[in-house]
A and B are shown apart, each in its own frame.
Chain A
């Protein structure tokens, strides 16, 4: 047993007040028994401290990983979305949204007639009007361009056909002229032959005994 004025284990574990620690140190200086007891306690403590703390096998899941896991409602929602019933729900929701959209969509004429429509409705209607005008202009422009192109093509074809006719007519006229000239030359040739025959006959007649 220790004869120290204070418990040596309290001294070992630093549970004494400074003044008490001083008293124990004074006592230990002159008491081999208490000094040996304290040494045994220190050896025991040192032996225990040879067991080292282990490293954590893996990182502790922090708050952001676990605490903020989905609430019960979100968990239910998540389970719902993973279930087969979500398809029916989505279909019904989309159908409802379509019906609602059609029901609430303002008519363009109504917008024009309405003096002070809601801002959102006006915005939607104007956008729709712009879209429609743009579509009409595009259609009108397409028609005009198509007509102009068609007319240009037709005119071009007419001009080409007319030119071809003119060329053919000129050619025919030229051929006819050529044929007339050939006929005229034949006639002249025939006349010359006739004249020549007549001359030869006359010469034979004037020369008696050739």
Chain B
């Protein structure tokens, strides 16, 4: 994903030389996306805010480790991913980050009126791994290669998780959406 990559690269270059304002500008560009990404993983605004803070702090501290400035987006989301899963492990110590949270097998509820509520509920029923791939693809717009880099899993695994999730979402949301949109 290339999102203002040139400008971001310049900012990163300046930040590496100690230009704090450059990094601050970089934060202002990405904080909302990082916050919402983490929010959809941890389902807590307070935790998402704290984790976003920690994400940018670690990003700044490790900025020199970023080999390609143009790869800042997947890199910062990788940090955010690690931060979020660090919290999830504390919440559910028995759950390994690679396995993700167990899916909710409760009977699907219907939200015919509010499509967004239905979408949120459908997302909640996905496993953590599936939900994360959906968030990274649908909401954050990353390419498969970038998601692979963020999650440190093969592209084939990314596609498998995403498409499995997409089939589940489609079965739940497409009829409701059809009624709403068409």
Contacts and interface: CB of A to CB of B under 8 A. Distances in A.
Contacts of A57: 45-46, 49
Interface stretch (B66-74, B85-93, B94-102, B115-123): B115-123
Nearest to B23: A63
A62 interface: yes
Given A15-B144, A54-B35, A54-B39, A48 B52 contact: no
B161 interface: no
Contact of A47 (B60, B118, B137, B163): B118
B166 A41 contact: yes
Given A53-B36, A60-B53, A45 B138 contact: yes
Contacts of B137: 13
Contacts of B144: 15
A56 B24 CA distance: 16
A49 interface: yes
A122 B180 CA distance: 92
B27 A62 contact: yes
Interface residues of B, number: 45
A63 B174 contact: no
User: Chain A interface mostly helix, strand, loop or mixed?
Assistant: loop
A58 to B, nearest CB: 7
Contact of B123 (A45, A48, A62): A48
Interface string B17-35: 0001001100110011101
Contact of B56 (A13, A46, A47, A60): A60
B148 interface: no
From A45, A51, A52, A57, name the one whose CB has the most chain B CB atoms within 10 angstroms.
A51
Contacts of B53: 60-61, 66
Interface in B43-63: 45-46, 49, 52-53, 56-57, 60-61
A202 B139 CA distance: 168
A44 B31 contact: no
B120 A51 contact: yes
A136 to B, nearest CB: 57
A124 B99 CA distance: 76
A143 to B, nearest CB: 65
A48 B169 contact: yes
